[in-house]
């Protein structure tokens, strides 16, 4: 797959799908943690650390999901460079047009 295509797909990341996938991975790690707890304690320690890091990623993806729900259609979009100051001055009447001279 070309880099441009991969980059495009990443721009369209779906926080809900990411949250679901990360949750499935965490559930799988939970099973592995229990299985290794007594026989392979070092492995279970590493799994535990991974689960903690994964929890942080899940939390971040949930926050992204909440933002996306509040601002639909803004997924991966950056705000356009606009002329907000110019339009504000036109709405308020600039000194040049409101008889300031």
Q: In this predicted model, what pLDDT tens digit does every residue of 64-82 receive, in sequence order?
A: 888 877 766 554 555 555 5
Q: How many CB atoms lie within 10 A of CB 47?
A: 21
Q: How many CB atoms lie within 10 A of CB 96?
A: 9
pTM over 0.85? The answer is: no
Rounded CA-CA distance 79/99 in Å is: 34
CA 44 to mean position of chain CA atoms: 29
Residue-wise pLDDT tens digits, 20-67: 999 999 999 999 999 999 999 999 999 999 999 999 999 999 998 888
């Amino acid at each position: 797959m070309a880099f441009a295509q991969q980059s495009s797909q990443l721009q369209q990341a779906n926080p809900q799908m990411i949250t679901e996938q990360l949750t499935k991975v965490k559930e799988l790690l939970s099973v592995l943690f229990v299985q290794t707890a007594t026989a392979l304690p070092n492995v279970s320690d590493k799994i535990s650390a991974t689960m903690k890091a994964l929890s942080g990623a899940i939390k971040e993806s949930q926050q992204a999901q909440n933002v996306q729900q509040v601002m639909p259609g803004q997924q991966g979009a950056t705000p356009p460079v606009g002329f907000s100051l110019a339009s504000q001055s036109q709405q308020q009447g600039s000194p040049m047009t409101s008889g300031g001279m």
